[in-house]
Amino acid sequence: MGTSVNGIGTGLDIDSIVSSLVTAQKTPKQTQITTQKTAATTTLSAIGTLSSALDTFQTALKNLNTTAISSTSSSSSTSTSTTSASTFAPLKVSSSDTESVSTSLSTGAATGTYEIKINNLATSSKVATQYVDSSTVFGAGALKLTQGSVSYNIDVSSGASLSDIRDSINNNTSLKAGGITANIITDSTGQRLVLSSSKTGAGTDISVSSSGDSSLSTLAIGSTDADGNVVLNKASTTEGGYISALAADASYTIDGLSMTSATNKVSGAISGLDFTLLKSGSTSTITVEPNTDGMTTAVNSFVSAYNSLINSINSLTKISSTTDSSGNATTTAAALASDSTARSILNTLRNGLVSSSSGNTGTISMLSQLGVTTNRADGTLEVDSTKLESAISDNYESVQAMFTGTDGLLTRLSVGLDAYTKDNGLLDQRTDSLNDKLGDLADQQTKLDTRTAKYETIMYAKYNSMNTLVNQLNATSSSVLTTLNALNNTSDED
């Protein structure tokens, strides 16, 4: 900034003059930059709010568009496993005792009640070797681990310890895939190698044979008969390791019909149901029934999510009319009022609501049939609870198809909004454009500040030069007047 000494020579307030000139020069452009920056910043914030609201809505649609989710609830007197109440699953399933049987729905379920009595659970193989002294070092050879019809070879190097053999088993990729793991159990008598399997069911027993150095024979477990079945045996100096019991299938009944399963997780025994056997000697009743309460909750959850989005858009696009302190009418517009992107999103939502699913041939195809209508004033949805409950009770499968079927309402709305919310979608492009504009305005501000500072320097230089010139002229004038006065005084004396 330039400087000057005011009042000398001209007597002008140069600082005020230059300040006024600089302000007059800068203000038009500065006003333009400030106005555009404020508008871009406000719009950018509004786009961020809109994007967040759309993401929240799409997440809600995704969560609702799940037709079978299992959850477990319990009380002091009973435990049940049921379909999540927040989904459009047409059916729900419950178990009278989830400590005995837990259950979930799969494809093709039908209403019904089934009594499941568990005789015994499916078990896996767990075997142990003879005692081995902790100082034992094994000679070179190999161990052959057999599980059912599959065998695995473990090479043993000369000088290997029991820990080395355990690690070789646990690090073997094929054994990991077969579910076999090894550990060492130690007591006062010595160490024992214990092999466990995650596979259950008859025919999954583990046996071990050895070859090579005779020291490895102490790790042999069980034997096989002529048919390839593992023979139960207990530890001795000659027979090798210990098998407490052979792996077994689960044994249970469904409504009195005898059933077996190699695993405790059972699929396909009852169409559309998966269940897990948990406790031997117990009984539980599985019930499959219409999920009317859950679907009612799901419809209301959809309406709530939709209305939340609409209210967010309305707050970003509204135009408010008020009066000032003088009684004059004033209008205030929100950041996205008359915004084409916001209007387009609203059209997408409305079109999605009134369109029909291409594959839905059920009785229910429109929201109005469920008692869900649009409030003309603000575009939100309203629910007639009585009509909704009646429609779901009579046509729950059709309601489910309308919302979650192929090209169902939830999918249509979410897909329609993808163009705006996806990476590099319309909202991302809009955000990038606004950020570019703010960057350009920042450059304009820098250039304006530079030009203004230069202009101010020039103005100070001009006015200071003028002030200096006037001072010089005043000094010359004073000198001339002094000389003339002196000449006049001399003439008067003569």
The verdict on 361 and 444 lying in the same domain is yes
pLDDT confidence of 330, banded at 50, 70, 90? confident
Residue 478 domain-assigned?
no
Same domain, 118 and 188: no
Q: Does residue 267 form part of some domain?
A: yes
Residues 6+ apart with CB under 8 A from 334: 46, 315, 316, 317, 318, 319, 320
The CATH number covering residue 196 comes to 3.30.70
Question: Has residue 493 been placed in a domain?
Answer: no
Q: Are residues 203 and 138 in the same domain?
A: yes
According to DSSP, the residues that pair with 144 across neighbouring strands are: 153, 209
Examine the domain organization and report whether 315 and 446 are in the same domain: yes
Q: What is the DSSP string of 408-474?
A: -HHHHHHHHHHHHHSTTSHHHHHHHHHHHHHHHHHHHHHHHHHHHHHHHHHHHHHHHHHHHHHHHHH
- 193: closest CA among 138, 257, 150? 138
In a domain, 481, yes or no: no
pLDDT, one tens digit per residue, over 251-278 is 999 999 999 999 999 999 999 999 999 9
pTM for the full predicted model: 0.69
Q: Identify the weakest region by mean pLDDT among 69-78, 210-219, 306-315, 420-429.
A: 69-78
Q: How many CB atoms lie within 10 A of CB 391?
A: 22
Q: Which token pair is 474?
A: 């005043």
Cβ(395)–Cβ(363) under 8 Å? yes
Which residues, at least 6 apart from 302, have a Cβ–Cβ distance to it below 8 Å? Answer: 60, 61, 64, 403, 410
Domain match, 200 and 254 both? no
Res 73: pLDDT: 38
102 and 188: one domain?
A: no
Is 411 a domain residue?
Answer: yes
> According to the model, what pLDDT value does residue 236 have?
46
Report pLDDT digits (tens) over 154-194: 999 999 999 999 999 999 999 998 899 999 999 888 888 99
Reported in sequence order, the residue ranges of 34-149 that DSSP labels E, i.e. its strands, are 70-74, 79-83, 91-95, 101-105, 112-120, 124-128, 141-147
Return the ∠ at Cα 186 (arms to 181 and 192), rounded to 5°: 55
Residues 223 and 282 both lie in one domain? no
Please tell me whether residues 311 and 450 are part of one structural domain.
yes
The total number of structural domains that make up the chain: 3
Residues 102, 50 within the same domain: no
254 and 305, same domain (yes or no): no
299 lies in some domain: yes
Pair 277, 310 in one domain? no
Residue 326, in any domain of the structure: no
DSSP single-letter state for residue 17: H
Q: Give dist(CA 332, CA 319) in Å, integer.
A: 6
Task: Please check whether residue 325 lies inside any domain of the structure.
Answer: no
- Which tens digits make up the pLDDT trace of 344-401? 999 999 999 987 765 556 688 899 999 999 999 999 999 999 999 999 988 988 898 8
- What's residue 7's pLDDT? 46
What is the enclosing helix (H) or strand (E) of 233? Answer: none
| Domain encompassing residue 281 | 91-122+249-290
Query: Who contacts 411 (Cβ-Cβ below 8 Å, separation ≥6)?
Result: 65, 404
CA distances in angstroms from 26 to 13, 21, 331, 452, 472, listed in the order given: 20, 9, 30, 7, 33
Question: Is residue 72 pLDDT above 50, yes or no?
Answer: no
In the chain, the amino acid numbered 272 is G
Task: Specify the higher pLDDT residue, 151 or 361.
Answer: 151
DSSP state of 232: P
Tokens of 205: 């027993």
Residue 224 sits in the same domain as residue 254: no
Which residues fall within 8 angstroms of residue 4, CB to CB, at 6 or more apart?
14, 15, 18, 460, 463, 464, 467
**For 255-379, where are the E strands, in sequence order?**
257-261, 265-267, 273-277, 283-290, 319-323, 329-333, 372-374
